[in-house]
């Protein structure tokens, strides 16, 4: 039956519709052009509501090896935050490391309908997809981690040429059913295996004698030439180290004109000024982003409270394991394919470092001028749980509220940030961009993030409230593909999402090369490594994202 959402204020930046009272008409899981009243249709009264497309989280660790290690390590998390879903209960719950069921329900309860796992390791990609398929009410996709894998590093070191690299990247994307390429500390994970503890952008790593810059540029070219919509998703060098702002700026300057997405940029925006030798580099980073239209970022905002950090950057996690809270951690290799470090952490507003990290993230949000190139994330769970998004949105939209919280943090941190002097408040249009339209555009999802004809009928109604945190925490209604799944913040239905992937073509000769490599070096048949379309979503198969010409 056709459904008409009527009387709401629609914010659809992708289609140039800003704060217009108009109807959104849904039929057979899609938004359609308004045929006018009449016929058999259900009417949803959206009076007093803001109408948005479903939210899209570009970067949230929701599935895979490190997520499960986080759940294992933080068993007390599920006891503190049980699953509050009534008749739709699954098992467990959790906040910092929630179960798959809790993940889908809690995202739905905030109006999100798509979430992307940004660190899929090829060796456990099949397991990551099985987990993502178990998450209700949201569509998913995975970013494949490359840049420390031996086959790639050998191709580069041996001078095999760009076409061979392109074929390998294309083969791996298809084999793992991923939709983008992620680099974590390029060359740094491999260097750690040879006892390297630091690796800067132009520092050659051990064994392969290769710089992170060379790895980055090679993979940037591959992704661009293959037509993968989302640019390289980069977790850069020197994460969390005071002074890393210089490395980040150098990385931005090293792109050779290729598009680049810098992830959890807050963790890469630290200076060394002041008597504590720790300062904000947000203004410098924002100025550079503003001047470089081919650069996009997500922030990785710090939110105060208990969480668990989980990263393939074992070099960084090993450095931090002594400050784990509670005092336990896990470090491991994953089939010699990548690494993983899981370190619990409790961010405190009474800590100078944590308080300044919080302020740095907000500075970045507010100083980067183009909302189409900055995306709302906490790098869940590294900066804080995704459930803190409504609070973060209010911090961005409400300066008095932000200033109130600024006055609560460590006094010395307040004197090291320019946050109080920033008057900008995000508008509803900008929130719709950073949480919907912009993530859809960078991922190449033409039928997501907007409410125009042909879009997936992911429609969210928020009561227009002065308290933006309350508003975005509990939508009045959430539709997923035209089916109502949330009413007044409560789950009323569970539905299955879809998986997004890209399938660039590759030379069949790469199949032969990788067959030999898997036989000789991996001990697993390449045919077993590859994930068939029939394995995705119980035989549903992936939805293929269109490549750029």
Cβ neighbourhood burial of 516 (10 Å; 0-12, 13-18, 19+): exposed
pLDDT of residue 84: 52
SS3 of residue 284 by DSSP: helix
Q: Which residue has the tokens 């997936």?
A: 456
Q: Which residue has the tokens 């490599």?
A: 517
pLDDT of residue 85: 52
10-residue averages of pLDDT along the chain (549 residues): 96 98 97 89 97 98 90 79 55 80 95 97 94 96 96 96 98 98 92 87 94 97 98 96 97 95 98 95 98 98 95 86 91 75 94 98 98 98 97 98 98 95 98 98 97 98 98 98 96 96 97 95 92 95 95
Taking the C-alpha atoms of residue 475 and residue 50, their distance in angstroms, rounded to an integer, is 10
Taking the C-alpha atoms of residue 56 and residue 53, their distance in angstroms, rounded to an integer, is 9
* DSSP-assigned states of every residue in 204-268: PPTTT---HHHHHHHHHHHHHHHT-SSPEEEE-SSTT-TTTHHHHHHHHHTSTT--EEE-SGGGG
* DSSP-assigned states of every residue in 334-370: ETTTEEEEEEEEEE-TTSHHHHHHHHHHHHHHHH---
Neighbouring residues of 112: CB distance < 8 A, sequence distance ≥ 6 = 54, 55, 56, 57, 138
Q: pLDDT digit string (tens) for 242-286?
A: 999 999 999 999 999 999 999 999 999 999 999 999 999 999 999
Report whether 205 contacts 213 (CB < 8 A).
no
Report whether 34 contacts 432 (CB < 8 A).
no
Residue 545 CB coordination number (10 Å): 20
Tokens of 291: 């001047």
- Tell me what the pLDDT averaged over the chain comes to: 94
Tokens of 46: 């959206």
* DSSP-assigned states of every residue in 361-417: HHHHHHH---GGGEE---TTTTSS-GGGHHHHHHHHH-HHHHHHHHTTS-HHHHTT-
Neighbouring residues of 412: CB distance < 8 A, sequence distance ≥ 6 = 276, 352
Q: Quick one: CA torsion of 152, 293, 238, 240, rounded to 10 degrees?
A: -130
pLDDT of residue 82: 64
SS3 of residue 452 by DSSP: coil
Per DSSP, which regions of 33-111 are E strands? 41-45, 49-53, 55-57
Neighbouring residues of 161: CB distance < 8 A, sequence distance ≥ 6 = none
Q: pLDDT digit string (tens) for 525-540?
A: 999 999 999 999 989 9
Closest CA to 58 of 166, 124, 142: 142
Report whether 304 contacts 353 (CB < 8 A).
no
């Amino acid at each position: 039956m056709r459904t008409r959402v009527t009387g709401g204020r629609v914010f659809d930046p992708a289609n140039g519709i800003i704060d217009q009272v108009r109807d959104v008409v849904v039929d057979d899981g899609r938004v359609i052009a308004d045929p006018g009243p009449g016929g058999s249709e259900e009417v949803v009264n959206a009076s007093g509501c803001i109408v948005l497309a479903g939210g899209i989280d570009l970067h949230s660790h929701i599935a895979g090896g490190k997520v499960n290690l986080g759940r294992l390590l933080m068993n007390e998390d599920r006891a503190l935050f049980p699953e509050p879903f009534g008749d739709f209960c699954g098992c467990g719950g959790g906040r910092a490391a929630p179960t798959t069921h809790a993940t889908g329900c809690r995202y739905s309860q905030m109006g999100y309908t798509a979430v992307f796992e940004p660190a899929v390791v090829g060796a456990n990609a099949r397991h990551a997809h099985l987990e993502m398929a178990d998450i209700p009410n949201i569509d998913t996709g995975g970013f494949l981690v490359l840049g420390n894998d031996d086959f790639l590093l050998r191709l580069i070191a041996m001078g095999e040429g760009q076409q061979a690299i392109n074929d390998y990247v294309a083969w791996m994307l298809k084999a793992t059913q991923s939709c983008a390429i992620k680099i974590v500390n390029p060359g740094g994970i491999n260097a750690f295996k040879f006892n390297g503890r630091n690796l800067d952008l132009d520092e050659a790593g051990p064994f392969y004698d290769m710089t992170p810059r060379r790895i980055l540029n090679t993979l940037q070219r591959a992704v661009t030439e293959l037509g993968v919509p989302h640019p390289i998703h980069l977790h850069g060098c020197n994460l969390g180290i005071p002074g890393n702002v210089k490395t980040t700026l150098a990385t931005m300057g090293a792109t050779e004109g290729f598009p680049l997405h810098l992830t959890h940029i807050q963790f890469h925006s630290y200076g060394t000024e002041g008597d504590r030798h720790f300062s904000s580099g947000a203004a410098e980073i924002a100025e550079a982003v503003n001047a470089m239209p081919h650069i996009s970022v997500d922030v990785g905002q710090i939110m105060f409270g208990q969480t668990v950090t989980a990263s393939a950057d074992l070099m960084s996690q090993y450095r931090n394991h002594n400050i784990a809270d509670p005092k336990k951690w896990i470090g491991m290799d994953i089939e010699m394919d990548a690494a993983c470090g899981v370190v619990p952490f409790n961010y405190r507003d009474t800590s100078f470092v944590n308080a300044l990290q919080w302020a740095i993230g907000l500075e970045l949000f507010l100083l980067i001028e183009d909302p189409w190139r900055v995306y709302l994330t906490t790098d869940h769970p590294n900066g804080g749980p995704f459930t803190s998004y409504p609070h973060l949105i209010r911090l961005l939209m409400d300066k008095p509220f932000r200033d109130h919280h600024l006055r609560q943090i460590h006094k010395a941190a307040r004197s090291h940030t320019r946050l109080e002097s920033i008057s900008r408040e995000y508008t509803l249009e900008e929130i719709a961009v950073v949480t919907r339209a912009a993530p859809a555009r960078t991922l190449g999802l033409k039928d997501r993030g907007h409410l125009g004809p042909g879009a997936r009928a992911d429609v969210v109604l928020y009561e227009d409230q002065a308290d933006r945190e309350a508003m975005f925490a509990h939508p009045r209604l959430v539709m997923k593909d035209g089916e109502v799944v949330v009413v007044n913040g409560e789950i009323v239905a569970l539905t299955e999402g879809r998986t997004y992937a890209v399938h660039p073509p590759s030379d069949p000769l790469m199949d032969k090369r990788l067959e030999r490599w898997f036989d000789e070096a991996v001990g697993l048949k390449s045919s077993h490594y590859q994930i068939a379309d029939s394995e995705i979503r119980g035989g549903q198969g992936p939805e293929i994202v269109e490549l750029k010409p």
